[in-house]
């Protein structure tokens, strides 16, 4: 029902459009007057070259859009070349980084091998030093044993000589020693 009310009201409101009655080419006919006004309006537009101005403005706008499109293409090409350049540089830097890492690994391996060799040399030096100390300790122990044996032998000989020595034999030994010293000194 609501759908019918709106078209009915519109039809009743459109009655002034039906007021045009009589011959078409008279000033009493509103359709003719509107047509004349429209033709005059179009004539004024043509006289003042408004269509040419509109075409010129549209052409300028089209040229502006074309210039913007050209600039956008140039910017896109520059961006693509810049992107390609950066990608190339990124690959170069990545390659350089890979070479640096490989070189660092190689140097680390060489340093590890050198450290192993240094440790082996240090151990060998320490073993030699320890062997030298052991040999020195053995020599000192042997010398100490010999000195002790000599001291024991001298003490034993002294005891034996003291027990077997008489006063006459002691005097004779002293005289022989003095004679031997005086013969060696002259």
Tens digits of residue pLDDT in 91-126 = 999 999 999 999 999 999 999 999 999 999 999 999
Instruction: Return mean pLDDT, the chain.
Output: 85
Instruction: Give the per-residue pLDDT at 83.
Output: 94
Residues lower than pLDDT 50 in the chain: 14-17
Structure tokens at 42: 């179009």
**Interatomic CA distance for residues 7 and 154, integer angstroms:** 157
Instruction: Give the per-residue pLDDT at 4.
Output: 53
Q: Is 8 part of any domain?
A: no
The alpha carbons of the chain give a radius of gyration, in whole angstroms, of 67
Q: Is 74 part of any domain?
A: yes
Q: Is 148 part of any domain?
A: no
**Interatomic CA distance for residues 152 and 146, integer angstroms:** 10
Q: Is 121 part of any domain?
A: yes
In degrees, rounded to 5, the angle at the alpha carbon of residue 46 between the alpha carbons of residues 44 and 48 is 70
**Cβ-contact 20, 29 below 8 angstroms:** yes
In which domain, by residue range, is 41 found? 27-139
Instruction: Give the per-residue pLDDT at 86.
Output: 95
Beta-strand runs (E) in the chain: none
Instruction: Give the per-residue pLDDT at 149.
Output: 84
Q: Is 22 part of any domain?
A: no
Q: Is 173 part of any domain?
A: no
Q: Is 114 part of any domain?
A: yes
pTM beyond cutoff 0.85: no
If you ran DSSP here, which 8-state letter would residue 29 be given? -
Instruction: Give the per-residue pLDDT at 20.
Output: 53
Q: Is 158 part of any domain?
A: no
- Total number of domains in the chain: 1
């Amino acid at each position: 029902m609501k759908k019918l009310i709106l078209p009915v009201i519109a039809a009743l409101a459109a009655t002034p459009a039906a007021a045009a009655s009589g011959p078409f080419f008279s000033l009493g006919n509103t359709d003719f007057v509107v047509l004349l006004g429209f033709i005059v309006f179009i004539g004024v537009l043509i006289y003042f070259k408004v269509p040419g101005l509109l075409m010129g403005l549209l052409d300028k706008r089209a040229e502006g859009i074309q210039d913007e499109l050209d600039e956008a293409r140039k910017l896109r090409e520059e961006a693509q070349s810049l992107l390609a350049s950066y990608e190339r540089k990124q690959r170069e830097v990545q390659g350089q980084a890979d070479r640096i890492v490989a070189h660092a690994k190689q140097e680390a391996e060489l340093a590890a091998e050198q450290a192993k060799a240094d440790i082996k040399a240090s151990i060998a030096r320490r073993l030699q030093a320890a062997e030298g100390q052991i040999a020195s300790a053995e020599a000192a122990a042997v010398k100490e044993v010999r000195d002790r044996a000599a001291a024991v032998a001298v003490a034993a000989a002294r005891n034996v000589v003291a027990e077997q020595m008489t006063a006459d034999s002691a005097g004779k030994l002293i005289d022989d020693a003095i004679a031997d010293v005086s013969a060696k000194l002259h």
